[in-house]
Chain A
C-alpha cells in the first residue's frame, strides 16, 4: 500500500503520525481517503481541488508537476513538500 508522509503542520489531524499507509492510485485518491479517516487534512493541504499554492508533491523521490493527478504505485512513497523553482 502507498505510504503518505504527513507534513509536520498537518500531523495534528492524524494524531501526530508521521507516515500513514493508505489506499489509492493517485495522490488525490490517497488524500481523499485520508480525509475520510482524518477530517481536516484535506483543507490543510488542498484548495479548490488542487494542492495549495507553494506546495508540491514528490512520489518516490521525484518532484511532480502533476499535483493531485500524479499516479502512485502500491509501494510508492508520497511527500508533500515546498514547491521549488530553479535558476
Chain B
C-alpha cells in the first residue's frame, strides 16, 4: 500500500493522531474466522417452523386464482399466506432515510398481487415443520396464470408498442418542455439537467465523439443469502432476526407493510455476509413475520441462491448515448448524454444518481443530461455500490479515451487538464467543495505502475476515473464507561465493512485511550437510538461522528465527577486527551482508568451519548490504471496489474480502507469481464447460480494495489470521507481502454466476456 498525502491542507492523518491511521486487530475478526459469528441462517429458536416461498414460473402474467387448500391440509403445515394476508397497501411513499419506497409496489413485490412481473416473483408462502415439508406443500398450491408477453430490454420497453407492466403508470417528465400524456408507459420518469448551451458549444468544438453503450444486468453478488426469523410475543409484539444493512429500515418497512405500530417490531441484526446495497429493501422479512403470526410459532425463511438471483434487486442494465466535444487544446467544451436504466418490475432505479455522476469528473461548461427510469420484466433493481455510477463511468471514460487518442494526448494529461476541482459546477448544478480528484490522477501518474513501461504483444494499459457523492444521514451511539477503564460502545450501524473498528477508533482517539479499550457492539432497534442504513458510504463518516460526540460527552461527565471528588467547580477541570486524564487545579489529576474505577464505586455512572445528522460527507473520487493481456484466439482478458488511487479523506483504519478499495475494484472487474444475467426469450434467467454467474476469484486476479490519497473532508472532525463505493466505478472503463490498447477494438458493451471481445476482434479483422 502506498499513501499519497495531501500537502495542500496540511491535515493528513500521518503523525497527527494516536489511534487514527493505525491498524489494530478487528473486533469481529476472531468470531468470523472461527465460525462463531452468527449469520442470518444460524438462528434456531424453540418450536421454530421453516418457511418456503412459491415463485412465478412466468416473467409476466396475470394471476387469475390461487388455491392453497391442499397445502393447508398437508400434515405438518402450519400456515399458508398470499398477498391477501397483507393489509391493502396504499400508494404512500415511505421515506427510508436513504431513499424512499412506494409501499404498494413494495407489498406487491414481497407477495404478488394481481400480476407477476418477473420470473421468480413471490406468489405464496408456507410454514411447516421441516423445510422439505414446506417445499412439498408449495407443490400443492394451485395458481392459474394468464401469461403475458414480457419485455426485457430497456430500449424495447420504451417503445410505444411495448408490453406494459403497470397499466396505470404515466411518465413524469422533468424536462423544461414537459408534456403530459394519458398513455400507459413503462417509462416512470424522465430526468433532465442542462448547463449553458451545449448545442452551440458543440458547433465550435474541434473534435466531437458520440457513441452508444450498453451494460448487462448484474447482481450485487453477496455470499450470504437473505435469511429472516420472526417470533411473536403474547402481547402482540414481534421480534425479527435478520441479516440487513439497516435494522431501523427493516423495522419501518415491516411495520408499514403489516400495519403494525413501529414500536411493536424489534429487529435484531445478525452478522451480514455482504450486502453492497442489496440488503436494504425487504423481501422475506414481512413473509416470516406474517407466517409466524398466522402459525403462532417462530418461523425462519432462508432464500436459496437461485431465488437471490431471480428475485432480489440486481443493478440495472442500461443503454447510454454519450457525446463529448473538445477544443484543439484538449479542453472539454460540451457534453450531451441520454441514459436509460432498467428499474425492473417496479420504479425506481438509480437513474438519478447516474445522471449526477455521469459528468462528475470533468469541468464541462455546457452540458445536457437526460435520464429515463424504465420498467422491464426483471426483478426490481436495487442499490449496488455507487448505484448508477459504474454504468455511466463506462460510457464517459471510454469516450474520453477515444478523444485522447484523436488528440494524441496522454490520458493522464487530459484528465489533469479537465478534472473537477473545488468550485467546479456539475451539469446538474451543484458546485463541489474541497475534493481530491486531481490528487488521485497525480498519484496514478507518479505511481511505479504507471512509470513502468508495459511490454509484450496483445497487452495494453487503460486509465479511468470515477465518482460517488457519499451520504450523511442519522446515527446514534451510546458509550458506558466501565469500572475497569474500558468502554462499552453501543451502535446501530450493522457492520459490513469494518465499521466496528473505524467507529471505535474515532471514539478512542477523542478520549486518547487505546482502541483495544473500546468494546463495540451492534445492537437491536430497542437498544440504541435511530440509525439509518449502512449504505451510501456513510457509517465511518456519520456514526463515527456520533461516536466523537459521545466521547466528548464522556469527557464532560468525567470532568464533572472529578470536580465533585475534588470539591471544585467543573470549570476548573479539563480533559487532557494527550494523557487520557482529567486535570484540575493545583496539579490534581485522574488517569482515565483510575477515574473510571472511582466513578463506578462512588458516583453516578458515566454514559456518553452521541447523535449525528450531518450532511457534508464530501464526495469521493478515484483514478485507476490497469494492464491487461488479451488472447486474440479466444477473446479472454487477463488482468496483469491493477492500481487504484482514491481520495479517502482520512484513512481511519488503513487496512480496512485498502480492503474496501480492493473489494470494489474486484467487483468492478467482475462487472467488466464476466457478470451478466442471461435471460431467454421467455424472461427466464438461465444462469441463476454461482457456477454459471461468474464472479472473479483469486485465481482470476493479481493483487490490487491501492494508493490512499488523503485529502481530509473539511466537513468532519477527523476529515472522514466515505470510501466504500467509488472504487467500483472506474474498472470497466479502465479495462475497456486497456483492451483497445492491447488489440485495437473499442468495447462498448458490458460484460467484455470472451465471446464479446472475440466478436469485436473478428469484426475488426473482417
| Real binding pair | yes
- Alpha-carbon gap, A83 to B373, bound state (A): 14
Question: In the complex, what distance in Å separates the CA atom of A41 from the CA atom of B292?
Answer: 48
**In the bound complex, CA of A60 to CA of B98 (Å):** 19
Whole-angstrom distance between the Cβ of B273 and the nearest chain A Cβ: 15
Q: Which of B173, B189, B428 meets A81, CB within 8 Å?
A: B428
Residues of A near B538 (CB, < 8 A) are 86
CB atoms of B432 and A61 under 8 A apart: yes
How many A residues are at the interface, by size bracket? 20 to 34
Is the CB–CB distance between B385 and A81 below 8 Å?
Answer: no
Indicate which residue in B98, B220, B356, B615 contacts A85 across the interface (CB closer than 8 Å): B98
Known: A53-B93, A81-B430, A86-B383. A64 touches B615 (CB 8 A): yes
CA distance A60 to B422 in the complex (A): 12
- Chain B 657-683 interface residues, beta-carbon cutoff 8 Å to A: none
Residues from chain B with a CB closer than 8 A to the CB of A9 are: 173-176, 178, 192
For residue A58, which residues in chain B have a CB less than 8 angstroms away from its CB? 430
Neighbour of B431 across the interface among A61, A82, A85, CB < 8 A: A61
The answer to whether the Cβ of B480 comes within 8 Å of any Cβ in the partner chain is: no
Contact B433 A82 (CB under 8 A): no
Q: How distant is the Cα of A32 from the Cα of B386 in the complex, in angstroms?
A: 34
Inter-chain CA distance A82–B174, complex, in Å, is 10
Q: Which A residues lie within 8 Å of B715 (CB)?
A: 62
- Please state if A65 and B97 are interface contacts (CB–CB under 8 Å): yes
Q: Are A54 and B189 in contact (CB under 8 A)?
A: yes
B276 CB-CB contact with A under 8 Å: yes
Chain A proximity mask over B154-178: 1 for CB below 8 Å, otherwise 0: 0000000000000000000111101
- Chain B residue at minimum C-beta to C-beta distance from A67: B95
Q: Which of the residues A16, A63, A85 comes within 8 Å of B350, measured between beta carbons? A: A85
**Which of A11, A59, A77, A82 lies in contact with B356, CB distance below 8 A?**
A82
Chain B window 79-108, contacts with chain A (Cβ cutoff 8 Å), 1 for yes, 0 for no? 000000000000001010111101000000
Shortest CB distance A40–B (Å): 13
B536 within 8 A of A: yes
B51 within 8 A of A: no
Give the CA-CA distance A12 to B430 in the complex, in Å. 21
Question: Which of B468-476, B507-515, B552-560, B700-708 touches A?
Answer: B468-476
Q: Which residues of B contact A63 (CB under 8 A)?
A: 469, 471-472, 615
B contacts with A, residue count (CB < 8 A): 59
CB neighbours (8 Å) of A85 from chain B are 98-99, 277, 280, 350, 353, 383, 387, 535-536
Look across to chain B and name the residue whose beta carbon is closest to the beta carbon of A84: B353
B191 interfacial by beta-carbon distance below 8 Å: yes
Set of chain B residues within 8 Å of A65, measured between Cβ atoms: 97, 472-474, 613, 615
Report Cα–Cα, A16/B175, bound state, in Å.
12
Q: Which residues on the B side are within 8 Å of A53 (C-beta)?
A: 93, 95, 100, 102
Is A38's beta carbon under 8 Å from chain B?
no
Q: Given A7-B174, A63-B469, A86-B468 in contact, is the A79-B191 Cβ separation under 8 Å?
A: no
Tell me whether B474 and A61 are in contact (CB under 8 A): no
Within 8 A of A (CB), among B386-411: 386-387
CA distance A59 to B472 in the complex (A): 13
CB-CB under 8 A from A62, the residues of chain B are 433, 472, 615-617, 715
Knowing A63-B469, A65-B473, A77-B431, the reply to whether A87 touches B387 (Cβ < 8 A) is yes
Task: Evaluate contact between B430 and A61: CB separation under 8 angstroms.
Answer: yes
Query: Quick one: CB contact mask for A34-64 with B, threshold 8 Å, 1 for yes?
Result: 0000000000000000000110001111111
Cβ of A8 and Cβ of B192 under 8 Å apart? yes
B261 at the interface (CB under 8 A from A): no
Greatest chain B CB density within 10 A among A5, A53, A61, A62 is at A61
CA distance A12 to B192 in the complex (A): 14
CB <8 Å contact, A87 and B220: yes
Provided the pairs A54-B100, A65-B613, A82-B191 are in contact, do residues A5 and B536 lie with their beta carbons within 8 angstroms? no
Contact with A along B345-367 (1 / 0, CB 8 A): 00010111101100000000000
Is B621 interfacial (CB 8 A cutoff)? no
Q: Nearest chain B CB to A30's CB is how many angstroms away?
A: 15
Chain B CB count within 10 A is highest, among A5, A60, A62, for: A62
Using CB atoms, name the residue of chain B closest to A47: B93
Asked whether A86 and B193 contact (CB < 8 A) given A5-B429, A9-B178, A81-B356, the answer is no
Determine which residue in B276, B278, B348 has the highest number of CB atoms from chain A within 10 A of its CB, and name it: B348
Cβ-neighbour of A82 out of B277, B352, B432, B725 (below 8 A): B352
Residues of A within 8 A of B278 (CB): 87
Is residue B118 contacting chain A, with contact meaning CB distance below 8 A? no
On whether the beta carbons of B428 and A87 are closer than 8 Å, the reply is no
Q: Within the assembled complex, what's the spacing in Å between the Cα atoms of A86 and B386? A: 6
The 8 Å CB contact of A8, one of B174, B431, B617, is: B174
Alpha-carbon distance A77/B425, docked complex (angstroms): 12
Question: Could you tell me the distance between the alpha carbons of A81 and B429 in the complex, rounded to whole angstroms?
Answer: 9
B650 adjacent to chain A (CB < 8 Å): no
* A-B residue pairs in contact (CB < 8 Å), sample of 26: A9-B178, A9-B192, A16-B176, A53-B93, A53-B95, A53-B100, A61-B431, A62-B617, A62-B715, A63-B472, A65-B474, A70-B615, A77-B431, A79-B430, A81-B352, A82-B191, A82-B353, A82-B356, A83-B352, A84-B99, A84-B353, A84-B387, A85-B535, A86-B353, A86-B722, A87-B536
10 tightest A-B CB contacts, nearest first: A87-B277, A82-B352, A86-B536, A85-B99, A53-B93, A9-B174, A87-B383, A87-B385, A8-B176, A84-B353
Q: Known pairs A62-B617, A77-B431; list 7 more (Cβ under 8 Å).
A: A5-B429, A8-B175, A53-B100, A54-B100, A62-B615, A83-B100, A84-B469
